[in-house]
Amino acid sequence: MSRFNWQDIGQFVAIFIGGAMGGVGRYELSDYLNEFNQFAGTTAVNLIGCFLMAIMIYGISMRFDLPEWLMLGLGTGVIGGFTTFSALMLAFITNYQQHIIGVFVFLTLNLIGGFLMALFGYLSAKWINRGRGLWS
């Protein structure tokens, strides 16, 4: 049996609070964008989240010596709560019979677009940190 560790509690609290913030952000942005297109909100939060996660991991965490609880709160919490793979799959499954081509475009845009946004975030972080000894 392991000892009680206050540091673990702090990390859980940071993830919990960050997840709540990210979830509210996702809801608000999706609600606004879904007025224009039912897939726009999910696509936007997933693409933005891929970019932000890459920036956070390869830019912020490598440039600044931030405490682990803060990195977990921002990454797993805020960005994890903001992005939504489950909503992506639910939208795909519930709409594939009515809009077969549209849902495959939606899925492809999220998967390939997410990869490209993560790559763009990584390259942006690398550009921001140029000359600082990172990736030299």
Give the residue ranges of the annotated binding site for Na(+). Answer: 80, 83
Q: Tokens in use for 31? A: 């609600």
Residue of 39, 18, 20 whose CA lies nearest to 30: 39
CA 42/CA 33 separation, integer angstroms: 9
Residue of 44, 28, 40, 39 whose CA lies nearest to 90: 39
CA 122/CA 124 separation, integer angstroms: 5
Annotated binding site: 80, 83
Q: Look at the block and give the residue holding tokens 């830019």.
A: 59
